[in-house]
Amino acid sequence: MSPEDVSTAVSQISVRDVEITYPNGAVAVEDISLDVRHGEFLAILGPSGCGKSTLLQAVAGLLTPSRGEISIGGKPVTGAKNAHLPSIGYVFQEHRLLPWRTVEQNVELVLSAGGVPKAEWAERTTRYLSMLQIEHLRKRWPMQLSGGQRQRASISRALALEPSVVLMDEPFGTLDEVTARAMRSELLDVWQRTNRTFVFVTHSIREALFLADRVAVFTRGPARLIETIDIDLPRPRDYDSRELAALEGQVVARVLDVWGE
Ligand SMILES: Nc1ncnc2c1ncn2[C@@H]1O[C@H](COP(=O)(O)OP(=O)(O)OP(=O)(O)O)[C@@H](O)[C@H]1O
């Protein structure tokens, strides 16, 4: 589907002609245009170091593009004053929980910063910790959790503000494969239950195809968009199915030259 086709549907995130250059002159993202529909699960797929995180940070308003426009829900992210930034949940590759706060207190910090009335904190915290199946761990310190539990806490924290858009930067990259598989299925469950727009960055072709409605494939750095691929496989998907393996083979064949040295 072309960017023009998507923008005529209900576009939640709009990235227009975006270029991102770091202060040292390194160009990380070159002329990317991309739209994400409301409620869509979009995966951004590209090789290591190509510029995926850089673009995601710009979508979150953490970095300012050197050129182009990004908006969420029709509101510009670029140049927005903090008070006018659209609500975004962000999950980093590493959990980034504050070690001196319990799981519950980490979630509450975000609720406080987001202006949620204190009377609602307990209910919100319980709802999202339960959704990620760690309600029983709410009084634990981050150092008392496994890697998967920390990432569950980090996802709960991102969802607790009930953002319209959830941005995830390789959140399962540091987990063992068995835990990562369980987390992927649970993430899809959460996505379907919350009806939010998810953007998920990964360098794993199989992971992108398993999770997403659509996959945006980037070049080696500086990142450019090669194509977006609609994933028409029915849900729930089987990570080991022949259909997924066949699709993975096709995508590998398409990116082999572009991602290679
Ligand atoms: N703060 C920075 N200053 C200068 N260059 C940077 C900075 N952060 C990242 N880069 C460079 O920008 C390019 C893109 O990095 P980025 O982290 O966005 O890639 P990525 O695709 O997310 O990588 P990975 O999959 O390994 O996380 C890389 O060449 C990186 O070295």
92-139 residue pLDDT tens: 988 899 999 999 999 999 999 999 999 999 999 999 999 999 999 999
Query: What pLDDT is stored for residue 7 in this prediction?
Result: 46
Average pLDDT value for the chain: 92
Q: Is the pLDDT of residue 148 over 90?
A: yes
Task: For the chain, state the CA radius of gyration.
Answer: 18
Residue 85 has pLDDT above 70, yes or no: no
State in Å: Cα 12 to ligand 1 middle. Answer: 25
Cα distance between residue 120 and residue 118, in whole Å: 5
What domains lie within the chain, and their CATH numbers? 1-86+207-261 (3.40.50.300)
- Does this model's pTM top 0.95? no
Task: Give which of 233, 226, 225, 227 is closest to 206, Cα–Cα.
Answer: 233
User: Is the minimum distance from the CB of 142 to ligand 1 under 6 angstroms?
Assistant: no
- Cα dihedral value 170, 171, 173, 176, nearest 10: -160
3-state secondary structure the chain: CCHHHHHHCCEEEEEEEEEEECCCCCEEEEEEEEEEECCCEEEEECCCCCCHHHHHHHHCCCCCCCEEEEEECCEECCCCCHHHCCCEEEECCCCCCCCCCCHHHHHHHHHHHCCCCHHHHHHHHHHHHHHCCCHHHCCCCHHHCCHHHHHHHHHHHHHHCCCCEEEEECCCCCCCHHHHHHHHHHHHHHHHHHCCEEEEEECCHHHHHHHCCEEEEECCCCECEEEEEECCCCCCCCCCCHHHHHHHHHHHHHHHHHHCC
Residue 52: CB within 6 Å of ligand 1? Answer: yes
Query: Which tokens hold the place of 252?
Result: 């590998």
Ligand 1, from 19, 22, 48, 167: best to mutate by most atoms within 8 Å of Cβ? 22
pLDDT by residue (tens digit) across 188-226? 999 999 989 999 999 999 999 999 999 999 999 899 999
Nearest CA to ligand 1 atom 23: 49
Are 166 and 158 contacting, i.e. CB atoms less than 8 angstroms apart?
A: yes
- The CB of 50 under 6 Å from ligand 1? The reply is yes
Span from the CA of 246 to the centroid of ligand 1 (angstroms): 31
Using the structure block, give the residue that is written with the tokens 């991309």: 34
Task: Note whether ipTM > 0.90 here.
Answer: yes
203 lines ligand 1 (CB under 6 A): yes
Please check whether residue 19 is in contact with residue 67, taking contact to mean a CB–CB distance below 8 angstroms. Answer: yes
Q: Judge if the upstream peptide bond of residue 222 is cis by omega within 30 degrees of 0.
A: yes
- Residue 3: phi and psi, rounded to 5, are -55, -35
Of all protein residues, the one whose alpha carbon is nearest to atom 3 of ligand 1 is 22
Q: What is the pLDDT of residues 14-55, one digit of tens each?
A: 999 999 999 999 999 999 999 999 999 999 999 999 999 999
Show the CA angle centred on residue 176, arms to residues 170 and 177, nearest 5°.
85
Ligand 1 centroid distance, CA of 27 (Å): 10
- Please report the atom of ligand 1 found closest to the CA of residue 50: 21
Does residue 86's CB lie within 6 angstroms of at least one atom of ligand 1? no
